[in-house]
Structure formats: C-alpha cells, structure tokens
Homo-oligomer: A and B are copies of this chain.
Amino acid sequence: MSAHDPLERARELTEAAIGGDRRALARLLTAVENRTPVAEAALRTLYPMAGRAHLVGITGPPGAGKSTLVAALIAEVRAKGRPVGVVAVDPSSPITGGALLGDRVRMQSYASDRDVFIRSMAARGHAGGLASTSAAAAAVLDACGFDLVLLETVGTGQSEVEVAAAADTTVVLEAPEMGDEVQAIKAGLLEVADIVVVNKGDRPGAQRTASQLRAMLVAVARVGTSDRGHHGAAVPSEIDVHDAAGPQAASSPPSDRPRPKQPEVLVTTATTGEGIAELLASLDRHRAAGRGGGASAARLARAEAQVWAILGDRTRAELHAADRRDGTLAVLQAVADHELDPFTAVDRLLTSLRG
C-alpha cells in the first residue's frame, strides 16, 4: 500500500474493513484512538453506515468482575452464532494504558474467531476525548457489521460513567457485600443503570445484596421523579461547613433521559456462566423495548459528545496553526502566570479566530 495520502489510506482501510479484513479494522480503530486525519476521513464514510448495532455499556466499581462478565457474555453471544465487538476503556493509566494481563491471555482464545473483535483503549488525551472516541469506535464496529457492541468502563470516574451511560442499554455491575466507600459509589451508578447485575453470585450475601439494591432503586426512582434538577436530592453533596444554605439548585444533570421503568436486578456468577443467558435475554428485551425514549436520548448524547469534541479539536488546531500559534501560547502563558484571567483570555482567542 502506498497510502501517504490520508484520504487514500482511509479509503483503502475502510473498504477492507467493511469487506471483513480485521487487521484493517484494527488499524482504523488505532487511527480513531489517535484522532488522525485518516480517522476523520474514514468516519465521514463509515458513520452514516452505522446506527444499527445495539450498544451496551457495562460499568461498575473495580473488583466487581466486569472483564470476567464481558468474557462470559462474549461466550454466550458466540454460542448463539452472533458477532460481538468490545471496546474496553481502560483508565487505569493516563499514559501507558494497561489492560490486565489475565484478560489479555483469556481474550487470546478468540484470536481465530472473526466474529469477536476486542479493543482496549487507553483513555488518554484531553478531557472529552473519552466519550467521543469510544462513540466513534463503536460506530466503526457497527458499520463493519458488529450487531452488538459492548463498551466496558470502570465506574468510578465521571467520564467513564458518562461513556457507559451514553450506550443504548447501561448495565451496572456490583459485587456482593462491598465496603462503605463502594456503597457510596453505588448510589450514583444506580441512577444510570438500565440493568443492575450482582456478580460473584456464588458468594454469601449475593441475594441479600440484590434485595438491598432493589430497595435502593425504589428510593432512587422516587428521587428521580420528585426532585430532578436539584443535586443532592438523595444525599447532600455539600460538606462545606461554612455555608448553611444547603444544597443549591444545580445546572442540568448530565443524564436526564427518561427511565420508562425501574431497572431489573440480576444475579450472575461470571466465572461459571451462571445467570449469563438471563443477562443476554434481558439485554435483548431492553433493546426491543427501547427503540424510543431512553435509547433515543442516549443516541443524542453520543452524537453531542462527538460533535463537541471535534469542535474543540478543530478550534484548538486553528489556534495552534502557524500564524496564530505564538499569540495563543502567549495568552495561555499569561493565564498560567495569573497575569490574565481565563475569561479575558477566551475573549482574546475568539477575537483572533474571528477577527
């Protein structure tokens, strides 16, 4: 391949990937991850071909067994002869990435299966990149015929939760009987869940945890309908000891998509496969039921994430173009030195862009 021209390279890779060439697909996803001109050109072609796949977000705290559940789900989906793509957003390292060795070894068993495609993405780059990059990667897999795309993220960071919540169906995983800190994490995660899975179901307390979660979900649903638009409804977020005013009205919450009904709570044991068939059936039901409402809001959220990220990328690129670069760096340095406030800095940069 000659392929010095990004447009030509994108055309070659796109045609090959659509035709079933998995190495071309892998290279396209690398381009997407690195936000190269090849990725832009390829997505302009592939994006309109996508939109048919069921995008399933899988999130939960570290140690709940997400990767093992994903592996079990892949096995179940493959047993039914369906193709499956996986995008694992790995925030464990801002720089070197780093999926777990065990997962990598396990996934090698699919190396010869053309209908399984697993991609680990480091969540690097500027903020906003995560939601945008994972949505773009899902669109590429979708356009290449993967009818089910799993998006695995760890559910402790805001960005990672947003990525999962922007899926058509969001699965939140919990392990039985975790400590206090994880209990606090649960409250937030539960609000984005379409399906809640208590994994490690062979441990004592799994059924009790499931019952507790069902009770919490009733409470969350009540808060959700009575007090949207305020934060701190269930748990005040202020620990500010000087402000007696209590929780303030907040800007719009990141996810206010309608929840047609309370999330189902399932118990699985991913290591043995127990409950996995029921999970897949639940996913398929949610897909069939969710063509409107929540799913459509999630699609809009994914679209917005991509559009705003690209808009930001392009604006920054223009500000760093040869003729503006020195001026931009001087403005940023003046903010770093506290000689200029960041709002006045933005006034100046916008004048430079539009002047």
Using a CB–CB cutoff of 8 Å, the interface residues on chain A facing chain B are 22-23, 25-27, 29-30, 34-35, 40, 43-45, 47-51, 61-63, 88, 90-100, 102-104, 107-108, 110-111, 116-131, 136, 139, 154, 156-162, 165, 179-182, 184-185, 187-189, 191-192, 223, 231-245, 248-251, 253-255, 296, 299-300, 302-312, 314-316, 331-333, 335-346, 349-350, 354
Contact = CB atoms under 8 A, between A and B. Distances in A.
B241 A350 contact: no
Given A182-B62, A338-B47, A94 B161 contact: yes
Given A43-B341, A62-B61, A240-B29, A188 B130 contact: no
Contacts of A192: 94-95
Given A127-B162, A307-B346, A235 B98 contact: yes
Nearest to A113: B241
A123 B343 contact: no
Contacts of A300: 332-333, 336
A184 B98 contact: yes
Given A111-B241, A123-B158, 7 more contacts: A51-B338, A91-B158, A94-B161, A96-B191, A100-B184, A123-B157, A157-B158
Given A124-B253, A239-B104, A240-B26, A342 B185 contact: no
A335 B301 CA distance: 10
A127 B48 CA distance: 25
A237 B29 contact: no
Contact of A157 (B34, B154, B182, B223): B154
A135 B249 CA distance: 22
B22 A242 contact: yes
Contacts of A188: 91-98
Copies of the polypeptide in the assembly: 2
A40 to B, nearest CB: 5
Contacts of A233: 96
Contacts of A306: 335, 342
Contacts of A333: 300, 303
Contacts of A136: 342
Contacts of A335: 47, 303, 306-307
A339 to B, nearest CB: 7
17 contacts: A34-B250, A50-B338, A63-B181, A90-B237, A93-B237, A95-B188, A95-B192, A96-B231, A102-B180, A104-B239, A127-B162, A154-B156, A157-B160, A158-B159, A303-B332, A303-B333, A308-B316
Given A98-B237, A341-B48, A156 B159 contact: no
Contacts of A255: 94-95
Contacts of A314: 346, 350
Contacts of A307: 331-332, 335, 342, 345-346, 349
Contacts of A185: 62, 92-93
Contacts of A331: 307
A125 B49 CA distance: 30
